Amino acid sequence: MTVDTAVLTELGNLRKRLPELSGSVLATTDGMVVAHDAHGIEPDSIAALAAAHLALARRFAHAVNHGELRESVVECDGGYITSYTAGPNALLTLVTTRNANLAMVHLEARRAVRRLVEVLVLQPPAPPLPEIPAQSAPLARRTPMATLQNAIRGR
């Protein structure tokens, strides 16, 4: 995976446009950090938790037949944690303070995601493993005990 300087620039610009932003983490959907602008929060933990949260939120969306998940919001006493899908293999997670204007956070994050998707260079997912044809008869197993008697008889 290659991190373009445009990705880091975009995360820095996002902080400038949202003063209530505590940190931003761009991660793969399997929880690996691609880039971050996070001070005072652990980006690896945020990436892993955001990926798990995204997977669960996607299941919710599919369970109620609402299509593909685009974003998720967690409201806490101290602020908001918002996650946005950034293409099929990445997500952007923002941590903001409680006095953040959530509508402005969404607006700026959605714009940033559109720009990030254009510059992200993520490796494509691994191709599926080929199917192994089913065997009609079980394979014979050779164990040390199966050959022990033959070895003793040969002496």
Q: What is the pLDDT of residues 56-69, one digit of tens each?
A: 999 999 999 998 88
CA distance 155 to 145: 16
What's the CA gap between 18 and 99, in Å, rounded? 11
Q: For 108-138, write each residue's pLDDT tens digit.
A: 999 999 999 888 754 455 567 677 666 655 5
Q: Is-contact 7 35, C-beta < 8 A? A: yes
pTM, full prediction? 0.74
